[in-house]
Structure 1
Amino acid sequence: MALWAKAQTLQGDALQQMQNLYGTHFPIEVRHYFAHWIEDQPWQDIDPDVRGHEGKARMILDALIKQLQYKYDQLSDTDFLLRLKMKEIADHFTKNYGSNPLDLVRIIKHCISTEQALVDQATGLNQEMLSAEGAARSETNRKISEAFQLLKQFTQETENDLRVMQQKQEFFVIQYQESIRLQAQLQQVQQQPAQDPTRVLNETNLTKKKAEVDTLLQQEAQQLLQMRITLAEKHRTTFHHLSELQQRIVEEELIQWKRRQQLAGNGGPQEETLDLLQQWCEALAEIIWTNRQQIKRVEMQRQQLPIQQPGPDILPELSTTITALLSQLVTSTFIIEKQPPQVLKTQTRFQASVRLLVGGKLNVHMNPPNVKATIISENQARALLRNERIKDNDNSGEILNNTGVMEYHQATRILGVTFRNMQLKRIKRPEKKGQETVCEEKFTILFQSQFSVGGNELVFQVRTMSLPIVVIVHGNQDSNAWATILWDNAFAEPNRNPFCVPAEVTWSQLASALNCKWTYVNGRPLSDSNMKYLAAKAFNINNPPESEDFGQSKISWSQFNKEPLQPNRSFTFWQWFDGVMELTKKNLKGPWEDGTILGFVNKDRARDTMLMSKQNGTFLLRFSDSEIGGITIAWVAQDPNNPSERQVWNLQPFTTRDFGIRSLADRIHDLPHLVNLYPDIPKDEAFSKYYTPIREKNPQNDGYVPAALKATVETLPPPIASPMTYDNPNTPLPMEGPTSPTEKPTIMSPDSEMLGACGPADFDGNGGEADMSDDFLSELSNLSSENLTDNIDVNKLLNLEFVDKDAKPF
């Protein structure tokens, strides 16, 4: 109820705006009496434009109706009117929102968000306002508000002048009619006989009166002419200020919103709601329309009473200017509120929503317009911006369910349409440019419509293009497609020629984009040392000096995602970065946010600078240099071949597939070699909250022995004379027997990432580790991970014997 309590303290215009939110669609009594319940609902989990959320919305509606019924039952007979109101509201909600509860959710969310904005604006409690950017935003809003006040004042003054001028013109017409009447009487008198004694007297009087009226008419005509000139100059001034304000809102504020929307595609802050922009655009539309109607009235007055004007007539220019301003406003405020996916796979459903910010104010919804979506290529987008027409059938693909009708929501004053079930059926690719791959080709979805304003007085053809889209046909193209999108979103210039981007940027620019993306996906941002590691990797520099500053070094698109990361690697810098980002997102997000994963550490630095100075058993986690989406464990231990020396060992990298079998934390818990996380944190303290809980034994005697997987690191081998092969890194070469019956040999090499790390679990009759016979190993190796425990022969399991030293591990 905290928000509603603050909303009730609003004053002046803010209070009026808050009150205007409520009406029969959502009575303010509901907001007041059920404020606590309303603010406790999970509104953020329900999107009124997603049909799949209708079930959640219906639960909200049903619960609210129950709240109303309960309130009705609790009220006494002395609260007769309020009881009737509660029942009336419950019936109204059931009737109007029973078939579409998402409409009610849309209304309530709009009310709450607007209340919050009004409270933040009035109290200054919004934390953003404390920042420099927030202060600048507040100053911008203040200036725009002042500009609107000035324009409203100008418009009211010209309205008053126009009214006075209309009255004066009507007076002039009356006097002109009087002059005509006097002229007719004078002519009639002059036709009387000259000797008539009354003729001279009447002629003299009529001549005098007519002269007075004609003089007055001349004065009134001069005043009318001057008023027309003055009014035209006032309109010119108004239109000048109006043009400046519209340019600021449409070409600055709206463009900035679109830019924030694009950066949000890279993980930047989500763009602000369009409510404030719509409020500004609607205010512009109202002022423009009022001034345009004033110009039309001036034209009508001039037709009724033509007066020769000295000098050039600026009225035609004013009429053209105000109509152009209206046209620009309508076409510029037809925008994409929810962008389609920027990496779009064929035969996959997707959504998008389009909105007209001035639709409600101009009553466009009185004749609901249709909107059509088509996909076009980069070259076709350029042609459209050059005002070249493209044929309706000249598109780059076929989109199913690509038409919709714009709907107007009275409560939120939003005119828009949501395409919920579009699907790209096929794509027609243009000719390739040089070495460009299909994942570098950019398309856009073009939304087109036609609006009529003022009873078909004006008809506007409008269109807007989505952010660049890369079309893929297979999931293995996803990473390269996102590289194209990240580069475009990060480095696109406003008002560019579609869809040009620089061929190279500074490392600091790219680092900012990578950090933004990483933070959005995995929470904790990248540190300065992480960035330096990434820079060295991108520029293929081993062990750069500490003083090295890559900030202004140029990195090209080719270095980013076309050239191999190293001559002996088959993947690019982005593919490697995207791999570890996805690995962290899917399997390591918690430990990464805790700071227990260093990740971006060079192997040499991990060995020489970090681990060799620590006690045995100290380990760290770093991303593999040799494998996409891999993470390895490096730890320091005594060299079994030379007890007087220590070595740093690296486990074979784990990937998402490995963590689908056993988690990283459980693997670390399994390995006794790992004692302290670098620098000196006990591993249980760092990872215990991620350990898989031990399953309780089944109290029923169902005939099965529980089984579990466990990671092991086998004994380090003595020197091997024969050459080592890596045809199967999990199969050791011949060596001496293990040092104890429970230890199994495996190939390990100092500073290598090709060590055997984890094999299928071994069990004795009590669930502990034991060596296994060849027959049982052969049978077990044929089992899938899904049915492992279902196919274990318990009798064999209970009669296991240790294998001899020549037993062949699997």
Structure 2
Amino acid sequence: MSQWKQIQQLEIKYLEQVDYLYDDNFPMEIRQVLSDWIESQDWDMAANHESMATVLLRNLLSELDRECSQENNFLRRHNLKNIIKQLQIKYKAYPLLMAGVISTSLKEERRIIATASIQEQGPLEKSMQNSVAFERQKNMDNRLAVIRSNVQMLDQAVKCLEDMQDDFDFRFRTIQSRDPVDRNTELMKHEVSRLQEMLNNLDLKRKENLSKMSDVIKEIDALIASQLNPELMEWKRRQQINCIGGPLLTGLDQLQNWFTLTAQSLFQMKHQLDKLGQLILKVSYASDPISLQRPQLEEQVKYLIDHLIKSSFVVEKQPWMPTHPQKPLIIKPGVQFTTKVRLLVKLPEVDYQLKVKTIFDKDLPPGRVRRQFFILTSTHKVMDVEESSNGCLSVEFRHLVTSHLHLCVFCWFQGPLSVMEELHSLSFEAQFNILGINIDLETCSFPLVVSSSLSQLSGCWASIMWYNLLTDKPRNLGFFASPPQASWGQLSEVLSWQFSTFTGRGLNREQLCMLGEKLMGQQASHNECQVSWSKFCKENIPGKPFSFWMWLDSILELIKKHLLPIWNDNCIMGFVSKETERACLKDKEPGTFLLRFSESHLGGITFTWVKQSDSGEAPKLISVEPYTKSRLSALPFANIIRDYKVIVDGEVPENPLKFLYPDIPKDESFRRHYNSQQSKGKMFTKTPHRTGPLSAETHSE
């Protein structure tokens, strides 16, 4: 079944996540119309090779042209023509960006499918889902509705106050205009008494309105502090988790709605206070409550506006290189990277010429001297209204490039940091002006790692995972001076995300258990065990010349480049210890085999099968020397399984692989992955060794 058909069969909660993937950058209509063609192309490779991306862009437009010419529905044909024009404008000069967008979307689809197929979710994913619970959103909507209603009533109250004051002012001026001779008459005394009563009522009404304003301001303040700020922080935390492969990031449009409604209420109250300021220019008196209370209320409103607008300035898309879209927050000098900033307050009064400035490493900790970089390309860009995102103000920097400034050794703690442990930041600044209020805006990306070469990419990604898993501080650039430990429960979930993000299928409990044993040894339960940063990424596995993460990441690369179809088809058992392998195969029919990743080679896969002994002894297990990327580059692994042969004692070569564990006929599992290329059988030399009733043999080429 095609990936797009699998998507269409998902529950509505997963379809909503899919919906979030598609926008003007990659319209869903293209995904629907060209679903089979899109899935047949290698977008991952195209995202790293401009010539291939250019060819795919040209072919994509040709396919769309063909669909458009065959479309009988006038409206759909019109929409397809518009999409073709938009794609030509957007991607003609930047085919790599298009390939990266499509590659990311397809991988996110696979991750969503994988998530939907796994009933049990990890603690991090559960917490991310709980943070956007319906009841909390409903409570926020209700509170905002009450505030909006109260602000509207205050509008009416201020209008009523204005009418009362106009009546008083008219009577007062009428009395003043009377002849002084008439001022001591009974009628005049009655009118003065009536005027005093009106003034008393006016004073009472002013105090009542100011009291209501104070209550509403307190309610808005409480809403911002108790719910809006926490919701924003939760979204930023979800963004961190999404950066390292976690659940799809949603909720920003909802946040924008809440921020905008709150801002509208505050600006409406500022207008009301301005109106009160105008009223006292006409009528004021001793102990006038407006003169006494208005300045404080105005300061409170201005403070809340300032805080709200500053908070609404966020990094919508963290920096990422189009060449490595699934590994954000890693940049390389001289290589283009992209990021996007957004203002969550949508107001018609806003001056849309908001110029945003980018600054690299603006505020390094005192005394910290290290590799320094500067931005080569233009650092300024103007925010504009983005119609596709609910009319928000945003700006996307698509062509930022950094360059190295100089290199210094720093020792503000004992021992220098490695390149992958050096954290940098990208700041954004703008000046916001509205209704006479000037606000300096500033936000920053999550910490970045600058990779000097592709060989450092794996270690840099380990740093990004560790940081975003274990801290929510946005500028903790000294994090790796003393990095905290991670529980295996947390870390195993993130590792599974790497597989679901990069390959489309996460790891099951048994596979994660084997990884836990490899990292921490035999334990009754690994979940609460603590793993240090050094043990995860810097120290070599005992007896091996590589670290745990280097070993695991090399397997990820092997799957992505050479094993993806059979991995996603669940043909590879993968992470299996030799002891578990022996337990699985000991009672199986001769010819039963399983595929597992090598524990002794970086990026290696091997297969082990059951061989019946001719002498009546217990069956033997035979394994092959691991296949690595250098061997798999020449021939698909499924073909190797199909055509693998051994020669025993001069007999006719035969394929010993009959049933994929537990008992599936080999061709039933692998037929769809064979290609027409025929590989030659290999002759192997056996070196047996016994381990009890079940013996094992290893063949080496």
- Which of 161, 164, 171 is the equivalent residue of 1:165? 161
Contact 2:447–2:476, Cα closer than 8 Å, also in 1: no
Contact 1:399–1:426, Cα closer than 8 Å, also in 2: no
- Which of 402, 424, 431 is the equivalent residue of 1:443? 424
Instruction: Report 1 or 2 for greater relative contact order, CA contacts < 8 Å, sequence distance ≥ 6.
Output: 2
> Which residue matches 1:790?
none
- Which of 380, 384, 387 is the equivalent residue of 1:407? 384
Give deviations 1:281-326, integer Å, cap 9, x for gaps.
2212211111111111112212332222278933222101111111
Distance of aligned partners of 1:40 and 1:399 in 2 relative to their CA distance in 1, 3 Å threshold: same
Contact 1:339–1:466, Cα closer than 8 Å, also in 2: yes
- 1:664-743 correspondence to structure 2 within 5 Å: 664-671=637-644, 672-694=655-677, 709-716=679-686
Give deviations 1:117-143, integer Å, cap 9, x for gaps.
xxxxxxxxxx9xxx9958962222222
Give deviations 1:772-804, integer Å, cap 9, x for gaps.
xxxxxxxxxxxxxxxxxxxxxxxxxxxxxxxxx
> Which residue matches 1:559?
535
Q: Which has more radius of gyration?
A: 1
Secondary structure, aligned partner of 1:419: strand
- Which of 502, 511, 525 is the equivalent residue of 2:492? 511
- 1:539-550 correspondence to structure 2 within 5 Å: 539=520, 541=521, 544=522, 548-550=524-526
> Which residue matches 1:268?
246
> Which residue matches 1:592?
567
Answering whether residue 592 of structure 2 is matched by residue 618 of structure 1, we say yes
Question: Could you tell me which amino acid in structure 2 is paired with residue 397 of structure 1?
Answer: F
- 1:249-268 correspondence to structure 2 within 5 Å: 250-268=228-246
> Which residue matches 2:102?
none
- Which of 451, 464, 484 is the equivalent residue of 1:485? 464
> Which residue matches 2:504?
523
Kindly report the root-mean-square deviation, in angstroms, between the aligned alpha carbons of the 2 structures: 4.0
Secondary structure, aligned partner of 2:686: coil
Contact 2:131–2:234, Cα closer than 8 Å, also in 1: no
Give deviations 1:70-93, integer Å, cap 9, x for gaps.
859xxxxxxxxxxxxx99x99x98
Structure 1 residue runs without a partner (length 5+): 1-35, 73-85, 103-126, 190-202, 695-707, 720-749, 758-810
- Which of 209, 229, 232 is the equivalent residue of 1:231? 209
Answering whether residue 357 of structure 2 is matched by residue 372 of structure 1, we say yes
Structure 2 residue runs without a partner (length 5+): 1-27, 39-49, 92-118, 120-125, 321-328, 645-654, 690-694
TM-score by length of 2: 0.76
1:666 deviates by 0.9
Aligned equivalents of 2:342, 2:35: Cα separation in 1: 22
Aligned equivalents of 1:68, 1:474: Cα separation in 2: 48
Distance of aligned partners of 1:55 and 1:166 in 2 relative to their CA distance in 1, 3 Å threshold: farther
Question: Could you tell me which amino acid in structure 1 is paired with residue 586 of structure 2?
Answer: M
Secondary structure, aligned partner of 2:549: helix
Aligned equivalents of 1:466, 1:332: Cα separation in 2: 14
Aligned equivalents of 2:71, 2:380: Cα separation in 1: 40
Aligned equivalents of 2:146, 2:202: Cα separation in 1: 26
Question: Could you tell me which amino acid in structure 1 is paired with residue 293 of structure 2?
Answer: I
1:512 deviates by 1.5
- 1:343-358 correspondence to structure 2 within 5 Å: 343-358=330-345
Answering whether residue 188 of structure 2 is matched by residue 210 of structure 1, we say yes
Aligned equivalents of 1:562, 1:680: Cα separation in 2: 40
TM-score by length of 1: 0.66
1:673 deviates by 2.2
Aligned equivalents of 2:607, 2:504: Cα separation in 1: 22
Question: Could you tell me which amino acid in structure 1 is paired with residue 606 of structure 2?
Answer: T
Secondary structure, aligned partner of 1:314: helix
- 1:143-542 correspondence to structure 2 within 5 Å: 143-182=139-178, 185-186=179-180, 189=181, 206-248=184-226, 250-272=228-250, 274-309=252-287, 313-341=292-320, 342-365=329-352, 368-376=353-361, 380=363, 396-409=373-386, 412-426=390-404, 428=406, 431=410, 433-435=413-415, 436-454=417-435, 457-493=436-472, 497-498=476-477, 500=479, 503-539=484-520, 541=521
Give deviations 1:516-554, integer Å, cap 9, x for gaps.
222222222212211211111111x2xx37xx1111111
1:425 deviates by 2.1
Aligned equivalents of 1:67, 1:594: Cα separation in 2: 35
Secondary structure, aligned partner of 1:654: coil
1:648 deviates by 2.2
Calculate percent identity across the aligned residue pairs.
Answer: 26
Contact 1:338–1:354, Cα closer than 8 Å, also in 2: yes
Contact 1:360–1:415, Cα closer than 8 Å, also in 2: no
1:498 deviates by 4.8
Contact 2:373–2:403, Cα closer than 8 Å, also in 1: no
Give deviations 1:455-506, integer Å, cap 9, x for gaps.
xx12221111112211011111111111101111212235774564851122
1:37 deviates by 8.1
Secondary structure, aligned partner of 1:415: strand
> Which residue matches 1:574?
549
Aligned equivalents of 2:546, 2:478: Cα separation in 1: 26
Contact 1:225–1:307, Cα closer than 8 Å, also in 2: no
How many residues are paired up? 593
Contact 2:358–2:429, Cα closer than 8 Å, also in 1: yes
1:577 deviates by 1.2
- 1:739-754 correspondence to structure 2 within 5 Å: none
Give deviations 1:571-612, integer Å, cap 9, x for gaps.
1111111111221222222222222211111123323x1223
Secondary structure, aligned partner of 2:358: strand
Give deviations 1:142-189, integer Å, cap 9, x for gaps.
22221122112111111111111111212222222223223xx22xx4
Question: Could you tell me which amino acid in structure 1 is paired with residue 286 of structure 2?
Answer: Q
Aligned equivalents of 2:217, 2:437: Cα separation in 1: 19
Q: Which moved more, 1:708-717 or 1:432-441?
A: 708-717
Answering whether residue 689 of structure 2 is matched by residue 756 of structure 1, we say no
